[in-house]
């Protein structure tokens, strides 16, 4: 079955760029029916959708984060990545990647999820 695994630095300094990669295994990242997404969860708080990307490069972003986000996909290596610029302490969270069942910007559900990566923004 499809499995996802996040990787990247666990500590980022304020004003710098947070970069995470998600590696997909057990299935093809180039499946037309699915997008690949990022969701974050600040410590002790709820879930916030960040954005989705299709293997063709089509992206959909959370409007509240759109100016700071960039998603990219590397189909050859079955990976997709998140870059979040100008981070502050408010961006401290566990970042999850997930497979997304969607039809364009109609987002249906997220399954499965990666185990999550805690990223702390601190000097």
Partner 1 sequence: QSALTQPRSVSGSPGQSVTISCTGTSSDIGGYNYVSWYQQHPGKAPKLMISDVSKRPSGVPDRFSGSKSGYTASLTISGLQADDEADYYCCSYAGRYPVVFGGGTKLTVL
d(CA 29, CA 13): 31
d(CA 48, CA 36): 15
Q: Which is nearer to partner 1, 14 or 112 (CB)?
A: 112
Instruction: Name which position in 32, 43, 90, 105 contacts partner 1 (CB under 8 A).
Output: 105
**Binding of residue 36 to partner 1 (CB under 8 A):** no
d(CA 107, CA 117): 23
* Partners of residue 39 on adjacent β-strands: 49, 96
For residue 92, give the nearest of 44, 32, 25 by alpha carbon.
Answer: 44
- 3-class DSSP state of 67: helix
**Binding of residue 106 to partner 1 (CB under 8 A):** yes
Instruction: Name which position in 21, 59, 85, 101 contacts partner 1 (CB under 8 A).
Output: 101
Instruction: Name which position in 36, 38, 114, 121 contacts partner 1 (CB under 8 A).
Output: 114
Contact between residue 55 and residue 111 where contact means Cβ atoms under 8 Å apart: no
**Binding of residue 112 to partner 1 (CB under 8 A):** yes
Specify the stretch interacting with partner 1 by CB under 8 A; choose among 16-24, 28-36, 72-80, 107-115: 107-115
Q: Which is nearer to partner 1, 70 or 94 (CB)?
A: 94
Residues that bind partner 1 (CB under 8 A): 39, 46-49, 60, 62-63, 96, 101, 105-116
């Amino acid at each position: 079955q499809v499995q996802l695994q996040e990787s990247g630095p666990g500590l980022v300094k304020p004003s710098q760029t947070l970069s995470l990669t998600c590696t997909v295994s057990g299935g093809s990242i180039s499946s037309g029916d699915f997008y690949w997404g990022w969701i974050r969860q600040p410590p002790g708080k709820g879930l916030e959708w960040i954005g989705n990307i299709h293997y063709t490069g089509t992206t959909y972003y959370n409007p509240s984060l759109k100016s700071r986000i960039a998603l990219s996909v590397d189909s050859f290596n079955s990976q997709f990545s998140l870059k979040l610029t100008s981070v502050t302490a408010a961006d401290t969270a566990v970042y999850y990647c997930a497979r997304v069942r969607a039809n364009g910007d109609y987002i249906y559900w997220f399954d499965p999820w990666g185990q999550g990566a805690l990223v702390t923004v601190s000097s």
